[in-house]
Structure 1
Amino acid sequence: MAGFFAMISRMKYIERWGLMRCTRSETLAEHTLETALLAHALIEIANARFGKSLDPGRAVLLALYHDSAEILTGDLPTPVKYHDEGIREAYRTIEKQAEERLLSMLPDDLRPAFAPHLGEGGEEYGAYVKAADKLSALIKCIEEQKAGNREFDEAAKTILKHPSLALPEAQTFLREYLPAYRLPLDEVERYVFQKS
């Protein structure tokens, strides 16, 4: 019996931001969907504005599975995960083992189709997925700040300094699209039409 999809479905039970006081919890499934949407956006920006010819489907698939290991490992808090290179390397090994365990839950004939989507995804597409991942985290910080939660102030500053957000496409997103996330719902539409 293959259990891969039943395990992937459990993303909705994994909560993120374990060390932070949140006004609203966020699940791995929510983060994954947002990361996939943002990865798609970044690839479309790359193609339209920066003359690239990248496959948005590839980026979206990588984003959908980018944190799938956390179904088995849980969401290790960033201060722990990145404390030093030894811990980071050990966690990479654990993530790889979790990904292999998930793949083993697929029948042999489907494993080759899913294997390329788990893990880093290579240099080019991996950079876009990492940027999308950080943008999703930044959006969570903004949502918490809007709710008056100062707990996320430092996290937002740290995320903005992450090297993945130096991508020109990520800078475009930060400049053109991120400001709308700071607005209340009734002002978002007004903001969009004022800018055009």
Structure 2
Amino acid sequence: MNKISPPEVDMSDRERMTRLADFLFEVSMLRRTPRTGYQFLGSGAENVAEHSFGAAVIGYALARMAGADPGRTVLLCLFHDVHEARTGDFNYVNKLYNTHDARRALADGLKGTGLSQPVLELHDELEEAQSLEASLAQDADQLDLMVNLKEAKDLGNPYAVKWLECAAQRLRTPQGRELAEAIMTTDHTDWWFLGPDACWWERKNGKE
């Protein structure tokens, strides 16, 4: 049986500003696109937009640590899952049975926006993972997951330990491994529980 090719996306009759608006609405879909791996972890939830933001912040920190281009690294993180507005997020079990064309989905979303070349270049650079910035962005992707997994571990999910170990094995850079070690050995509540002056806790509700 011959495989039927999917129809081409044609938005050529729309003006550039309209296509940019289309693209912004498409990106907004990521706020409602769940990251599906948490179904297997049994706790936690996150959408793709939340993950992309976390990865971008981590990518900036890693780039500063490594002496890489922070702006380039952040852009790689920011756009790395935009295609999932069209494809959805495939977890590791899904990928055993389903395939998707991430680049085509991204290209179709970008048609007519004037952003195709630079954003597709980001996609290709990240996939090839030859530049330092791409390697750091790949690590930021994993480290954002690890932040959530460490919180799940602290809250009592025993399976989060296995996931943390797997994510750590996928790290590519010394900076990524260094930050991963800090994440795994820091209580996720320390930033707010230990941050205030101790007398704040002693005063309870603020009474002298």
Q: TM-score range by the shorter chain?
A: 0.7 to 0.9
SS in 2 for 1:77: coil
Aligned position for 1:50: none
- Where in structure 2 are there 5+ consecutive unaligned residues? 1-17, 197-208
| Residue 21 to residue 170, structure 1, CA distance change in 2 (3 Å) | closer
The one-letter amino acid of 2:177's match is Q
SS in 2 for 1:180: coil
- Where in structure 1 are there 5+ consecutive unaligned residues? 48-53, 191-196
Residue of 94, 114, 119 corresponding to 2:119? 114
Larger Rg: 2
Deviation at 1:119, TM superposition (A): 4.4
Residue of 174, 178, 191 corresponding to 1:172? 178
| Residue 161 to residue 42, structure 1, CA distance change in 2 (3 Å) | same
Question: Are the equivalent residues in 2 in contact too, given 1:18–1:75 (CA < 8 A)?
Answer: no
State the distance in 2 between where 1:143 and 1:18 align: 13
Q: TM-score, normalised by structure 2?
A: 0.72
Deviation at 1:98, TM superposition (A): 0.9
Query: How many residue pairs end up in the alignment?
Result: 173
The one-letter amino acid of 1:74's match is G
Aligned position for 1:193: none
Question: Are the equivalent residues in 1 in contact too, given 2:33–2:88 (CA < 8 A)?
Answer: yes
State the distance in 2 between where 1:19 and 1:161 align: 22
Aligned-pair RMSD on alpha carbons?
2.4
Larger RCO of the pair (alpha carbons < 8 Å, separation 6+): 1
Residue of 62, 80, 83 corresponding to 1:69? 83
Question: How do 1:40-119 and structure 2 match up within 5 A?
Answer: 40-47=60-67, 54-81=68-95, 83=96, 90-91=99-100, 94-104=101-111, 106-107=112-113, 109-119=114-124
Post-superposition CA distance 1:141-184 (Å, at most 9, x none): 1111122222323211211221xx24111122123455335444
| Residue 96 to residue 112, structure 1, CA distance change in 2 (3 Å) | closer
Q: TM-score, normalised by structure 1?
A: 0.76
Residue of 51, 55, 58 corresponding to 1:31? 51
Question: Are the equivalent residues in 1 in contact too, given 2:146–2:180 (CA < 8 A)?
Answer: no
State the distance in 2 between where 1:187 and 1:110 align: 44
Identical amino acids, percent of aligned pairs: 22
**Structure in which a larger fraction of residues adopt helix:** 1
Deviation at 1:34, TM superposition (A): 0.6
Post-superposition CA distance 1:19-57 (Å, at most 9, x none): 32543311111110010011111110001xxxxxx2110
Deviation at 1:185, TM superposition (A): 4.2
